[in-house]
Amino acid sequence: MTALTLSTAGAATLRADALVIGVAKGAKGPVVAPGAEAVDKAFDGKLAAVLDALGAGGAEGEVTKLPAPAGLKVPVVIAVGLGSEPEKNESFDEEALRRAAGAAARALHGAKKAAFALPLEDASAVTAVAEGALLGAYAFTAYQGGDKKDGKNGKQPLAEVALLGAKPRDKEHKAAVERAKIVATEVNIARDLINTPPNDLTPEAFAAVAQATAKEIGLKVQVLDEKALTKGGYGGIMGVGKGSENPPRLVKISYTHPKAEKSLAFVGKGITYDSGGISLKPAGHNETMKCDMSGAAAVFAAVVAAAKLGLQVNVTGWLALAENMPSGSATRPGDVLRMYSGKTVEVLNTDAEGRLVLGDALTRASEENPDAIVDVATLTGAMVLALGDRTFGIMSNDDAFRTSIHEIAEEVGEASWPMPLPADLRKTMDSPTADIANMGVRMGGGLVAGLFLQEFVGEGITWAHLDIAGPAFHEGAPYGYTPKGGTGSAVRTLVRLAERTATGDLG
């Protein structure tokens, strides 16, 4: 990953390939943001006027490249928009800083070193800029450039970021950067897993990644293979996975802290490819379905981040991994599965597979009696229709917990919205044959799925469900620190939730 350092050098003295500065939207045109004073001086104090003449007004997402004047040790200055200038005594919005740093890092793909001179008023601004730069620099190049003689795959991400204006000896600033590095690294690892094509990232391969990482950083890991899953009665996971040549896995990966007072369970939907099964998805709906393990990727990344941060809380990740394929051995619409909980499910649509693997994992996670369970899943197209492709839905059996997660997501710059679990929709999943069907009414399909999951959560356990079907995989043009493809949605929210649980500060 991109290297990140705190530098005490002045903006005019540091040698780099480019210098990144901020420009805000002022009442009378662009305003040069704090941190870029020396750069403005090199422009004879006319930087704002130059930007104005170039049509740069400071809007979010704006990236303007300027040739550097004599007096700077860089060839290019990159001015990134920060949105409206904050009122007196207020600071720049953290998410605006994160996105601006990300946009700059994206504009610097292929470069070696860039200095970032954005406004860093406090430690949280340092975290935001550091995270934005490291997330924006991300590129998935593992499968590109295979025919090149130098063996270099595609255009490489910006190699080095020097943050100017932070205080390298300040404890808080140092911690802010360390946290940003860990979180961004893990978000990028989730992105890599999501982007890895499904012929390579099978359930077995994903489990092997978890095992290798666990070994490396000293986490406990346990993998149930198809034999153990059958023996254990995991009818949901087996029912989804048995149509594939690539058998399913249930991975348990746990981080424990000797002084932990609370425990969290994160449960991730890990469908490494969702063809729909016998209820096959039509063309146009299956091209991006390698992303259907984004929940498991987020859970895995969050557990590893919690461990690397040394949080005083126990966090267990459950990855419900299976490939949903049609074949002679696949579950049919009409089949009845016996779930790990003992409940029977009539499978009416094999494309509603996420709730089947999650049902088993939720029951299993409940057996350990954690203080809360959060599941993360690309569960329904209905949630994408409801909230669009940048916002995830939050459902919960506890209104206060749902509100906490919503606020935490907002704090870390992830868009989310609380959604209800209307009890009346439960009866639309009534089955004449089994205890429940895996489908109900189409209207409110995301909530129906949430109600299905709720049936598998242990009595009295606080639980929330994040449906990330919209934001998990970005198909449009990159923006801010969000690339095309896997985004790492929910990782930052889960990590902050673990931090808040560790400090007993859930709001």
Pick the closer one to Mn ion by CB: 60 or 351.
Answer: 351
What's the min distance (Å) between Cβ of 236 and ligand BES? Answer: 13
Element (H, E) at 136: helix 123-136
Integer-rounded Cα Rg, in Å, for the chain is 24
Rounded-to-integer distance, Cα 365 and Cα 386, Å: 29
Lay out the site mask for ligand BES across 426-445 (x = CB under 6 A, - = otherwise).
Answer: -------------x-----x
- The distance of Cα 272 from the centroid of its chain, to the nearest Å, equals 16
Cα distances (Å, whole numbers) of residue 213 to 218, 305, 314: 8, 11, 17
296 touches ligand BES by CB under 6 A: no
Decide if 114 contacts 459 (C-beta within 8 A). Answer: no
Lay out the site mask for ligand BES across 197-236 (x = CB under 6 A, - = otherwise).
Answer: ----------------------------------------
The one catalytic residue in 167, 281, 390, 426 is 281
Give the residue, chosen from 301, 469, 491, 495, that forms a contact with ligand BES under the rule CB under 6 A. 469
Q: Which residues bind Zn ion (CB under 5 A)?
A: 271, 274, 292, 354
Pick the closer one to Mn ion by CB: 192 or 353.
Answer: 353
Give the residue, chosen from 274, 346, 375, 455, that forms a contact with Mn ion under the rule CB under 5 A. 274
Pick the closer one to ligand BES by CB: 232 or 381.
Answer: 381
Pick the closer one to ligand BES by CB: 34 or 333.
Answer: 333
Decide if 336 contacts 433 (C-beta within 8 A). Answer: yes
338 is a catalytic site residue: no
Rounded-to-integer distance, Cα 7 and Cα 357, Å: 48
CA 81, 472, 329: angle at the middle one, nearest 5? 165
Lay out the site mask for ligand BES across 314-353 (x = CB under 6 A, - = otherwise).
Answer: -----------------------------------x-xxx
381 touches ligand BES by CB under 6 A: yes
Secondary-structure breakdown of the chain: helix, strand, coil percentages, each rounded to the nearest 5: 35, 20, 45
The one catalytic residue in 113, 179, 355, 402 is 355
Cα distances (Å, whole numbers) of residue 120 to 18, 73, 263, 385: 18, 21, 34, 38
Rounded-to-integer distance, Cα 178 and Cα 1, Å: 14
455 touches ligand BES by CB under 6 A: no
Q: Which stretch binds Mn ion (CB under 5 A): 5-13, 28-36, 269-277, 471-479?
A: 269-277
186 binds, among Mn ion, Zn ion, ligand BES, none (CB under 5 to 8 A by kind): none
What's the min distance (Å) between Cβ of 359 and Mn ion? Answer: 14
Pick the closer one to Mn ion by CB: 183 or 437.
Answer: 437
Pick the closer one to Zn ion by CB: 37 or 292.
Answer: 292
> What does residue 473 show for φ and ψ, rounded to 5 degrees?
-135, 120
Pick the closer one to Zn ion by CB: 253 or 296.
Answer: 296
351 touches Mn ion by CB under 5 A: yes
Closest residue by Cα to residue 416 from 425, 427, 428, 408: 408
> What does residue 190 show for φ and ψ, rounded to 5 degrees?
-60, -45
Largest CA distance in the chain: 80
Q: Which stretch binds Mn ion (CB under 5 A): 170-178, 333-341, 351-359, 395-403?
A: 351-359
467 touches Mn ion by CB under 5 A: no
What's the min distance (Å) between Cβ of 32 and Zn ion? Answer: 48
Buried b (16+ CB within 10 A) or exposed e, 36-68: bbbbbebbeeebbebbbeeebbbebebbbebeb
Query: How many residues touch ligand BES (CB under 6 A)?
Result: 16
Q: Is 305 helix (H, G, I), strand (E, B) or coil?
A: helix
492 is a catalytic site residue: no
What's the min distance (Å) between Cβ of 351 and Mn ion? Answer: 4
Closest residue to bound Mn ion by CB? 351
Query: What's the burial of 233, exposed, middle or buried (CB within 10 Å: 0-12/13-18/19+)?
Result: middle
What's the min distance (Å) between Cβ of 308 and ligand BES? Answer: 29
Pick the closer one to ligand BES by CB: 136 or 445.
Answer: 445
Element (H, E) at 217: helix 203-217
What's the min distance (Å) between Cβ of 61 and Zn ion? Answer: 31
Q: Which stretch binds ligand BES (CB under 6 A): 1-9, 62-70, 208-216, 372-380?
A: 372-380
**Edge-to-edge strand ranges of the sheet holding 344-346:** 336-338, 344-346, 436-437
Instruction: Report the catalytic residues.
Output: 281, 355
Residues forming contacts to ligand BES in the complex (CB under 6 A) are 274, 292, 349, 351-354, 378-382, 384, 439, 445, 469
The residues that touch Mn ion, with contacts defined as CB under 5 A, are 274, 351, 353
